[in-house]
Amino acid sequence: MNSPKEVIEIVSVLAQNKGAYKIRKTLILAFLAGAYIAFGGLLAIVVGGGSPELAASNPGITKFLFGAMFPVGLILVVVVGAELFTGNNAYFVPNVLSKKQSINAVLKNWGLVYIGNFIGAVFVAFFITHLTHLVSDAPFSESVRNVAMTKTSHTFLVTFLKGIGANWLVCLAVWQGMAAKDTVGKIFGIWLPVMAFVTLGFEHSIANMYFIPLAIFEGAPITWMHFFESNLIPATLGNIVGGVIFVGMPYGYLFGKKN
């Protein structure tokens, strides 16, 4: 197992490599990450959302099932390799603190990856899920609708705070994945925090790029503008705070020093 200081060293090298990617490579890897997260979302809907009787009698269990399925997306991102906006919120911070990378390099990566993640997630929502009618029938259709309606019903502040919680745990999952030295350890280290954030109902901007557009495609009474204003913007801002302030900065400060 890698120590916290060794993890920071790994993070530093990865961030420098990510910052050196050409635009085309960054966008392709970001598209793949958005798609991987979407696949995790689809699996969660089919397993967790396909049990209405269980949800009525024991909603905690169905939330757990939903959360237990979702981590496959981040596992693919870390193990196979892809560019995920929320993980990158923390990746670059230690190097910024040590002045190995500039803020401009970070913002460039974030912008490109965010766009690529959106395209990948919406692609899976429309072409792989909607056009194949995988969730068009009950009880899956109700699950898709309920998830999206719930996510777009909160105030800006509530969604922002839930966004902080989500990416705090997501970035810790990434950190644990890098602490492990074998594939099984990486999978388990990633699974636990991601399962927790989904089960708890926190807001992950990239996941929501799949869940809410899918509901729109399936006929839910949600407009794209409402999606952006009520969920995506506050969730994204919360994710940035969660990754930067609660993971990247403290661990970069505590373990990024040479002494």
Residue type, 232: L
Q: Is the pLDDT of residue 205 over 80?
A: yes
Sign of the dihedral through C-alpha 242, 77, 192, 210: positive
Q: What is the pLDDT of residues 81-108, one digit of tens each?
A: 999 999 999 999 999 999 999 999 999 9
pTM over the 0.75 mark: yes
SS3 for 127-138 is HHHHCCCCCCCC
Model pLDDT, residue 258:
61
Q: What is the pLDDT of residues 143-200, one digit of tens each?
A: 999 999 999 999 999 999 999 999 999 999 999 999 999 999 999 999 999 999 999 9
SS3 for 33-61 is HHHHHHHHHHHHHHHHCCCHHHHHHCHHH
Angle at 161 between CA 44 and CA 95, to 5 degrees: 90
Mean per-residue pLDDT, 128-136? 97
Token pair 């999206």 in the structure block, residue: 148
Mean per-residue pLDDT, 13-40? 97
